Structure formats: structure tokens, C-alpha cells
Amino acid sequence: MTNIIVKQEQNKGDLSFGCSSFSWETLDGKHLWGRNLDFNRLAKGTKVTYIPRGTKFYTSIKEVEKRQMEAKYEETKYAAVGIGLLLQTTPTLYEGMNEKGLMGGQLYYREFAHFEEKEREDRISLQPPFAVTYFLTKCATVKEVVEEVQNHVNFLGIPLLGTVPPIHWTFSDRTGETIIIEPDKDGVHIYRKTMGVMTNSPSYEWHRFNLLNYAQIRDFDYEELVINGEKLPQCFSGSGAFGMPGDWSSPSRFVRLSFLKQYAVKGKNEEEGISHMFHLFQSVAFPLGMIKVSDQGAITKEDTNIVPYDYTVYTSIMCAESLKFYWNSYQNMRVQYVDLSILMEQQQIQQFDLDFKQDFKCRNEIK
């Protein structure tokens, strides 16, 4: 774990945001990473977004006078694709993958995230919403992401659209290593060679040790119970998972995903692995209506289709080797994908609708 001491600052964005992610692999060596996005809205213009090499993008934007902006920008080294929007013309990804197979995204880290409030001359000012775009288009591996955080970037906590989102990040690559980056009160913590599972607050270290409370969980049913002179044979399956939490809190989702990743059958190839992974994400998905939002938090002019419940708006999964980016949504369970290796023939930013319309296929053809 690497510590970079930063100044403490109170969060300016307190949205009740969910989200779960984990990395996985297939039996034939393909590396996968994916996430659920759990929220009660999506920003206007959110689409699958392709960013070509040589694209200029902002790393920070601040208002210096009314209606006048001071901005700093970089240029992309690698092509990338993910889900996000164009914010002040900058492709702003929530998660995604680049041409080198680096994958990752941002998840909410409410009550814990702290960022610098002042710029540093020796570092690149990086507002949290632009971090995924920055790392995916500048770094080829998780090792390079670590080097950027340690030596080059300063997470700057100035508001964007009126809020500073409290987030942390996770990235994975073709080596199979998954890292977690958490900007805490005492500094930016970088966790190397993690188990590859991440949800929301508290910290990764807390979630990791919390698994000791569930050491009895296994993939094999417990045998008959002998008690008070009687033998009670098993009459149902699944007793090996006794005690596994079933709610939608961040600690419970971390526990479920950790054991699912440990015991679930891996796919033989990419297609089977992607299919299995979508099933696992369903086990931690928010059903519409069960998580009522008590505080809408900071609503920006970009937010649309706000509902009173957090729910799993979409699930995205990507493959580091094939460079295919897959997704489905709460409304449309059909798995769709784009292929980054084909998109790289394009020299301009491209966007694709998430396509939330229900998609059913009728199969009553008469032969």
C-alpha cells in the first residue's frame, strides 16, 4: 500500500450511489472486468463512448469568474471505449477499457473520499470525474496507473457542475492484477494485487477483513445435524452458504461477490465467461423499488430521468484480450457490445446509445 499525504477536505457531493465491480478470468486465459452502476439517474448524454488516440481532453475545469472557465488539458496516448458522456467537449468515462487491455472505473466512496483543494505546480491537476478518462488514455498497465498516482497527478477537489463526487477507483489488466485507489483523510491509498472485488464505503481494507465474519461459507452443503439424540438429514440444498448476507448494502455485496468469484464456475472461453459474469452481477443488482432514496443529493443540470429509487441502471463487462465492451441495462437485458479493435479505425469520437428499450425476441415460427 502506498500513501500520498493529501489535505483533508469535506465532501461536496453526498449522493446515495451504489455500484459493484469485480475482475475475473476464463479457463482459456481471458481477463474480464465489469461493474454494476446503481443509481437513481443517468447524466444527460450518457452513451457508450469511443475516444481515439490524439484526442485533447480536460483534466480540470474551474470557474475563475462568472461564465469564464480556466481549464487544463492533456492528449490521449491510447484509444479507449466505455460508458460516459461529453462534458465540456471532454469524453468523461465512468468505466471503460483501452487498446492495451487496461480496464477499470469509478465507484462511489461516500463519507470517505477526500481530495486536495489547491493545485500543485509539480503535478497534473486531475478532477475526480476525469480520472477514468485520464488513466485509460495515458496508461497501458496497472503498474503505470500506480506510477501516475504516485508521481504525476493531484486529485483536485474543486466542484464540477456544482459538486465534487466522492469516488474511488479500480483498474485491472492482462496480467490479472487488480488495483484499488482510495483517496482517504490520511492520503491516497493504493492497494496492489487485491482480490479484485470492490463495492462502496467503507474502505477496501475494511471489506477485506470483514470477510473473516463469514469464514463458514463454502460451496458444499453441510451434512445431517445430530442434536439432542436426533438425526436431522438435509432436506434442501444451499446450506453451505448459511449466513451469507442477502441485502444490498455495500458490505453485503462485497461478501457475496467475493464468495461468488471464489466458487462460481468460470467460463471455458470469453463468450461463456461473459455470460456467467452477467449472472453473478445479477446477484448484487438493485431491484427497482427496494432502495428508496432519502436524499437526492446534488442534482446537476446534466441529470435526467430521476426516479425515487436507486436501481442497477446498467451492467458493463469487458475483455482485455478481445477488446470487446459488453453491456445490458435494467430495461433491456439483451447483451450488446462494441469492438474497440474495429473502432480504432475511426479518428473521431464516436458514441452509441445504450438502448434502454425492452428487447424481446419472438420464437413461435411455424416450420
Residue showing cell 461564465: 67
**Residues 19, 139, 319, 362: which is the catalytic one?**
19
34 phi, psi to nearest 5 deg: -155, 175
Task: Check if 19 is active-site.
Answer: yes
Q: Which residue has the cell 467503507?
A: 202
Check if the beta carbon of residue 39 is closer than 8 Å to that of residue 13: no
Beta bridge partners of residue 42, listed in sequence order = 304
Distance of CA 314 to the CA centre of its chain: 11
Burial 214-223 (b: 16+ CB within 10 A, else e): beebeeeeee
Residue type, 239: S
Burial 11-42 (b: 16+ CB within 10 A, else e): bbbbbbbbbbbbbbbbeeebbbbbbbbbbbbb
Which letter, b or e, does each residue of 183-202 get, where b requires 16 or more Cβ atoms within 10 Å of its Cβ? bbeebbbbbeebbbbbbbbb
In order of 33, 35, 326, the CA distances from 208 in angstroms are 19, 19, 28
> Which residues are the active-site residues?
19
